[in-house]
Structure 1
Amino acid sequence: MHNFFLVLLVVIFFSSQSSFAQNSISGTITGNEDQTPLEQVEIYFPQLEKGTLTNEKGIYSLSNIPVGPYKIVITYLGFQTFSKTLDIKQGENVLDVSLKLSAIEMEEVIVSTPFHKLQSENVVRVEYANVALLRKKGAMTLADGITNIAGVESVSTGIGIGKPVIRGLSSNRVLVYTQGVRLENQQFGDEHGLGVNDAGIESIEVIKGPASLLYGSDAMGGVLYLNPEKFAPSSSTEGDINLNYYSNTEGYNMNAGFKTSAENLKFILRGGTTSHVDYKTGDGDRVTNSRFKENDLKTGLAYQTTKFNTELRYNYNATEIGIPEEIGEQTKERTPELPFQKITNQILSSKSNLFFDRSSLEFTLGYILNDRKEFEDDPSNAALDMNLSTFNYNIHYNLPKVGKVETIFGLQGMHQNNTNFGEEILIPNALTNDIGALATSHIHFNDNNDIQLGLRYDHRSINSEATGILGEQDYIDQLNRNFSSFNAAAGYKLNFAKSFIGRLNLATGFRAPNLAELTSNGVHEGTNRYEIGNPDLKNEQNLQTDISLEFKNEHIEFYANGFLNDVNNYVFLEPTGTFQEDNAVFNYEQQDAQLYGGEFGFHLHPHPLDWLHLESSYQTVIGKLDGGDYLPLIPANSLTNTIRVEQSSAIDWLNSGYAFVTLRSVFNQNKVNAFETFTDGYNILNIGIGGSMILFKQDVEIRISGNNILDKSYVSHLSRLKPDGINDIGRNISLGLSLPL
């Protein structure tokens, strides 16, 4: 931690010595049909993380812009996104833009990939979802909301515990990034949730497939990248209150935020609280101890000059989650009963950029403290008490552009310490150290062809202490293992015509075995298994081929994504046929595996009915071991159809409105692992309506949605409560209100 703050102070001192040349850019934004000035248009420099809005005359102005080539992105609802790389000169720069009308949703800048391009410019397809839109669909938690993204599901234990599944891979095979740093919170455990509150999260990006080139170990299945909300534009102050109520759990979710920005200094603060009683299934029964409550605080401070910018963010999250096991006493208590978890997660991160004449240096530092306690018999004495502290760093040097080639060199690393304080030891005390180096280039040949190439090397060391008494059943020997891997990625994007984009990507990824897989020797209470680790496990290594085709014009969009994922040394649990303490004994084993499938989607918004949207998407994945057995926890195939209307209104009290009806059809899952049972298909009907209205001279957003509106009794194949005969949540009406301050 001392090094963390020392580096930060050195960088701030260095920036104070840099040139303060007042380079600026200004201009006017208009609509192309009648050249009417457009107000509240967003002008944003992604690499600089600096932006502003136009005034009532369509005029904007930004100062403290460094010299060199930087991408500018201009977005406004109902118009095509404008993107261009500008060569900023010393002094005053002028850019006037006339935006083109479009019924297609605005394109966003993708920040989870290294070159910060628009989706249509990326060689790798990345799924993007705005968290505000997920709330409109009635999402109760962030883990619930991500299931609206094609190819993404969630392994759930009730509604309080959920973890992402990307194309059939989950747990340590999917990496989560938040505040620009990798989230480490004992994610190996089946009963460990995502651990992030949606308050203060602006958007989600999903890389579906190996991303080890960019992020190292554990990203072999993909990355869930959570973008925090932006600071306020320069010389402005904003605030808001968001209220949500959920009928099924009589739950509430409230958060309030405040942010203010001067020319150089910016500040943001958001606090939230959540509470739910036991959820009710479609059968009308409440699932005992599925209740949970959560408190969350996010704050940040940023400083920007011409040659330097930095931001410091902090997140404190405290959660109490019941672990449901049965449908028992029907109550509406909000305090979890035994067994339950108390989890606190603290994330401190610093992201800084130094800008040179035609290159830049970006470095991100993060410190995460995860404290997980599980109470089984005594609410005052934790049976399981684990403390995980993680320091990580990520340094990228953006080389000067040479012709049409952009190149980045990177260095990443992690130092992690796991310590036990409880009477039960799930994984031993251990130190983990990572270091990785990468190089990646993007070559833009012309408007039709792009290539991206990359190479990376990683090394991980794991050193754990011996646990227990030598010779006794639960003894765990000390471990000293090293894991290394080279990984590469190559991608090609071709614009067949103005409206067609094709992409072909090949990438390798890897995952070093986690501590549970290497060292377990005892009962895993969350799964009622006696698990025995294998200290000789090798790296998981995969090669995935992705091919995608997209068509988009003013009224029709469709996409088709296919993938083939070959995994060497896939780690899985296999029963021995014996029992310990009435629990079946399972060993960790390895075998090659293969996953394949894809996502397909269609979106129609016909002219002149631009307010009408017809959307359909289908997703499928199959996973098998080389021995012929199906992999566990593979999501069932599903088809989602939506009719949506969106209308800007000229009525004095109504700014805009929307309504939707969605039918989600999940098919039978009969391609199951030998230790799973078939899961019947089901259909879920969701509806919603809302809009932005003017009440008491305030612009207020109101949301009403009904999920599982027909109160269907069903269970997801990825529910950990399925073996206990417990169904998923029944009808849930949610009400939402957002008020500016």
Structure 2
Amino acid sequence: MKQIITVMLLLATTITFSQNTLEGIVIDSDTKEGLDYVNVYLPNLEKGTITKENGSFKITNLPSGNYKVIFSMIGYGTLSLNVTLPLKEPLNIAILVSAIEMEDVIISTPFHKLQSENVMKVEQEKISDLKANGAVSLADGITNIAGVESISTGLGIGKPVIRGLSSNRVLVYTQGVRLENQQFGDEHGLGLSDSGIESVEVIKGPASLLYGSDALGGVLYLNPEKFAQANTAQGDLNYNYFSNTQGFNTGAGIKSSGDTFKFIFRGNLTEHSDYNTKEYRVTNSRFREQDFKAGIGYQATQFKTEFRYNVNNAKLGIPEGIGEQTTLKTPLLPYQNVTNHVLSSKSTLFFNNSSLDINLGYIYNDRKEFEEHHDHDTDPEEIHEEADALEAALHMKLKTANYDLKYNLPKLKKFETIVGIQGMNQINTNYGEETLIPDATTNDFGIFATSHIHFNKADVQIGARYDNRRVDVSSGISKNFNSFNGAAGVKTDIFTNLTVRLNLASGFRAPNLSELTSDGTHEGTNRYEIGNSQLQSEQNFQTDLSLEYKNDHFEFFVNGFYNKINNYIFLSPNGEVIDNDPVFVYLQDNAKLYGGEIGFHFHPHPLDWLHFESSLETVTGKQDNNSFLPLIPANSLSNMIRAEFDTKSIAKGYAFIKLRSTFNQNNISSFETSTNGYNLLSAGLGGTIKVLKNDMTVTVSGNNLMNTTYIHHLSRLKTDNIFNMGRNISLGFTYYL
């Protein structure tokens, strides 16, 4: 490890300590007038400013080298420009009026480009937009992204599903580091709050080249909110109310930045009672979540670093049937009490035309699960007291340290190249009276290289990677898994405004600890699970083809994929019963998944404020024996009409109405049942007003407005025939200080 870091440092050229200035003016390409409030941002340096009234801008204390500069403003097309510092003369930038929404830089891919410049297709959504659509939680919000669903246990627990793959096949990144929180369990949620998260990015398909094992199915990349711009300070207070659960979330944040130091603090509290359907409340679907985030950063000419810390505690009820109808918010037995600590550091050393990124993380997951031992006729208040006094039946602590080093080589004509190493040390320890998976230590190591090659009419990205995973179990079992993987992609414009992307990638996933060694009752899933120490690594190869047409008023896309997975691992009942629970064992078979997304976005001229959006998503999963895979989401169609407006009293106003149609799911595994289709109607509006001379954003949204009774195919409450949430009206307020 030390030798590799030394070699990478020696690769860097001599550090130069020159301080440079980026300055210029931004004008409207038609009127030639200077534009104020244009965002000017250097993503590699994470430094930016806003233009003044005459369109001028100035950013100081920048290192020498080649950097990308992003110019963005609502109502104008986002411009990406490569500059070399020091500048020979100030920039004169002209941007075009456009009804197409602003683009943001994609962080989850290594070269930090706009999506229009990326070879790999990545979906990005702002958390504020997901919440404006009435999302109750982060797991609920991501289901608004085409191709993404969630395996849910009520409202409090949800885990992402990308094109039919979930659990350890989908890697989650937060604060720039991989999140590890015993994600093997169907009822183990993200353990994260959307508070303090700015946007979410989704890589659909194997990303093992970038992230190693567990990224076989894709990556959910959560971008934390940015620090304040230099020499500014910001604060906000927010409150959201949800009528269905009589629940709320409330929080506050403050951030401030000087020339070199910056900090950020944010706290949030969420409470929900049992969610309501048209016919009943779902007993013990209630939950409580507390979240705190903090960050401090330092930025000099040749060096920048930031440290972030997040602690999240969630007390989550586990529904087991329909019982007493109440709006109490304290969970009954059984319930989970899960605490996640995420400590991360992200640093960059800038050399002459190159840089070294160093990301370090430590994740401490403390998971407690409490079982029901009381008499069902006991008074609810006594149940609460009993729950507080109980010892956890299942208590696991997972401690994970990981590192990620990337050296950005000097740009060589058409080549941008990155080489890197990544690794992880993970220790699982049991403290409860029950043991589902044994104590064990896992070590990962990976090394990779990737290049982005710019040709006149096409962009190409290629890369290769080697990984090793070693699992040492307290019982004496030791397993080694190795894999070579590669990826290649091309993006080109085949006609005017028509872009095609073709990506080929292999990926792998080593069996997780549960699959290898579990032997016990998993109370949250009501089954007895038996692991298989002879399991082999899953290995896949996926082909992605994407077509996109875009002009000033119309966008159309078609994404198709075919994913072949060898040694696909799955749970299957063997017909036996232990301790009154059905026995499930881990098996392997080759599998394939295929499908994609299709959609359009139309904003007619001259009614640029009016938007029509539609998307269809479909996925099919089968084993080689032609039987269907479990937990494959049903096909769905989403249609939305959205209006945007600005008045003297309301800024950034919007209103929308949306109909989501989910079709019957009859392509089911041998131990699943079919699920009927349904239609959900939602609507909302919002905007920013002035209150006491400060901005306040107000949002109102309604979901399932027709109060439809339905069951989602990926709901873990489906086996008990328990409906998903009924009508819900959400009210949100954010006051900016």
Q: TM-score range with shorter-chain normalisation?
A: over 0.9
Gaps of 5+ in 2: 374-385
Cα pair 1:368 1:389 within 8 Å, conserved: yes
Instruction: Please list the CA deviations of residues 540-582 of structure 1 after superposition, one character each: whole Å capped at 9, or x if unmatched.
Output: 0000000010000000000000000000000011222222222
Equivalence for 1:435: 445
Equivalence for 1:539: 537
Amino acid at match of 1:497: F
Equivalence for 2:263: 267
After TM superposition, the structure 1 = structure 2 runs for residues 41-120 of structure 1, keeping only pairs within 5 Å, are 41-89=38-86, 94-120=90-116
Q: Residue 64 of structure 1: CA displacement?
A: 1.4
Q: Residue 675 of structure 1: CA displacement?
A: 0.5
Instruction: State the secondary structure of the residue aligned to 1:231.
Output: coil
Equivalence for 1:556: 554
After TM superposition, the structure 1 = structure 2 runs for residues 198-347 of structure 1, keeping only pairs within 5 Å, are 198-283=194-279, 285-347=280-342
> 1: distance between equivalents of 2:257 and 2:57?
16
Equivalence for 1:421: 431
> 2: distance between equivalents of 1:237 and 1:524?
48
Q: Is 1:722 aligned with 2:718?
A: yes
* Aligned partner of 2:563 among 562, 565, 573: 565
* Aligned partner of 1:404 among 406, 410, 414: 414
* Aligned partner of 1:596 among 594, 597, 609: 594
Q: Is 1:462 aligned with 2:471?
A: yes
Instruction: Please list the CA deviations of residues 384-430 of structure 1 after superposition, one character each: whole Å capped at 9, or x if unmatched.
Output: 11000000000000111111011100100000000000001011000
Amino acid at match of 2:595: G
Amino acid at match of 1:428: P
> 1: distance between equivalents of 2:726 and 2:185?
27
Instruction: State the secondary structure of the residue aligned to 2:495.
Output: coil
Q: Residue 18 of structure 1: CA displacement?
A: 6.8
The percentage of counterpart residues that share the same residue type is: 59
Q: Residue 38 of structure 1: CA displacement?
A: 2.2
Amino acid at match of 2:593: L
Amino acid at match of 1:71: K
> 2: distance between equivalents of 1:42 and 1:721?
46
Q: Is 1:367 aligned with 2:362?
A: yes
Cα pair 1:656 1:693 within 8 Å, conserved: no
Equivalence for 2:505: 507
Q: Residue 57 of structure 1: CA displacement?
A: 3.1
Q: Residue 277 of structure 1: CA displacement?
A: 0.4
Cα pair 2:17 2:63 within 8 Å, conserved: no
Cα pair 1:31 1:37 within 8 Å, conserved: yes
> 1: distance between equivalents of 2:199 and 2:320?
33
Q: Residue 530 of structure 1: CA displacement?
A: 1.5
Q: Is 1:197 aligned with 2:193?
A: yes
Q: Residue 656 of structure 1: CA displacement?
A: 2.9
> 2: distance between equivalents of 1:221 and 1:62?
40
Amino acid at match of 1:178: T
> 2: distance between equivalents of 1:322 and 1:524?
15
Instruction: State the secondary structure of the residue aligned to 2:128.
Output: helix
Amino acid at match of 1:604: F
Cα pair 2:363 2:400 within 8 Å, conserved: yes
Equivalence for 1:349: 344
> 2: distance between equivalents of 1:76 and 1:221?
34
Q: Residue 32 of structure 1: CA displacement?
A: 2.0
Q: Residue 648 of structure 1: CA displacement?
A: 2.2
* Aligned partner of 2:488 among 487, 490, 494: 490
* Aligned partner of 1:389 among 396, 399, 421: 399
Gaps of 5+ in 1: 12-16, 467-477
Cα pair 2:707 2:727 within 8 Å, conserved: yes
Q: Residue 140 of structure 1: CA displacement?
A: 0.6
Instruction: State the secondary structure of the residue aligned to 2:309.
Output: strand
Cα pair 2:18 2:64 within 8 Å, conserved: no
Q: Residue 93 of structure 1: CA displacement?
A: 5.4
Cα pair 1:347 1:367 within 8 Å, conserved: yes
What RMSD over aligned residues (CA atoms) do the two structures have, in Å?
Answer: 1.6
Amino acid at match of 2:104: E
Equivalence for 1:470: none
Closer, same or farther: CA 228–93 of 1 in aligned 2, 3 Å: farther
Q: Residue 699 of structure 1: CA displacement?
A: 1.8
Q: Residue 73 of structure 1: CA displacement?
A: 0.5
Equivalence for 2:376: none
Amino acid at match of 1:214: L
> 2: distance between equivalents of 1:735 and 1:36?
40
After TM superposition, the structure 1 = structure 2 runs for residues 642-657 of structure 1, keeping only pairs within 5 Å, are 642-649=640-647, 651=648, 653-657=649-653
Q: Residue 734 of structure 1: CA displacement?
A: 0.1
Instruction: State the secondary structure of the residue aligned to 2:116.
Output: helix
Equivalence for 1:40: 37
* Aligned partner of 1:452 among 439, 449, 461: 461
Cα pair 1:25 1:93 within 8 Å, conserved: no
Cα pair 2:15 2:350 within 8 Å, conserved: no
> 2: distance between equivalents of 1:574 and 1:633?
12
Cα pair 1:267 1:300 within 8 Å, conserved: yes
> 1: distance between equivalents of 2:320 and 2:38?
51
Amino acid at match of 1:293: R
Q: Residue 671 of structure 1: CA displacement?
A: 0.3
> 2: distance between equivalents of 1:139 and 1:347?
24
Q: Residue 19 of structure 1: CA displacement?
A: 5.3
Equivalence for 1:475: none
Q: Is 1:672 aligned with 2:682?
A: no
Count of matched residue pairs: 714
> 2: distance between equivalents of 1:94 and 1:226?
35
Moved more, 151-160 or 234-243: 234-243
Cα pair 1:282 1:714 within 8 Å, conserved: no
> 2: distance between equivalents of 1:236 and 1:38?
21
Q: Which runs of 4+ in 1 moved over 6 A?
A: none
Amino acid at match of 1:410: G
Cα pair 1:130 1:203 within 8 Å, conserved: yes
> TM-score w.r.t. structure 2 length?
0.95
Amino acid at match of 1:245: Y
* Aligned partner of 1:140 among 136, 139, 157: 136
Cα pair 2:15 2:351 within 8 Å, conserved: no
Closer, same or farther: CA 25–639 of 1 in aligned 2, 3 Å: same
Cα pair 1:641 1:663 within 8 Å, conserved: yes
Cα pair 2:16 2:64 within 8 Å, conserved: no
Amino acid at match of 1:161: I
Amino acid at match of 1:385: H
Instruction: Please list the CA deviations of residues 434-458 of structure 1 after superposition, one character each: whole Å capped at 9, or x if unmatched.
Output: 0000000010012x30110000000
Q: Is 1:607 aligned with 2:605?
A: yes
Equivalence for 1:474: none
Cα pair 2:15 2:352 within 8 Å, conserved: no
Amino acid at match of 2:48: G
Equivalence for 2:120: 124
Amino acid at match of 1:339: P
Moved more, 25-34 or 75-84: 25-34
Cα pair 2:689 2:696 within 8 Å, conserved: yes
> 1: distance between equivalents of 2:331 and 2:33?
57
> 1: distance between equivalents of 2:445 and 2:603?
48
Cα pair 2:19 2:64 within 8 Å, conserved: no
Q: Residue 480 of structure 1: CA displacement?
A: 0.5
Equivalence for 1:636: 634
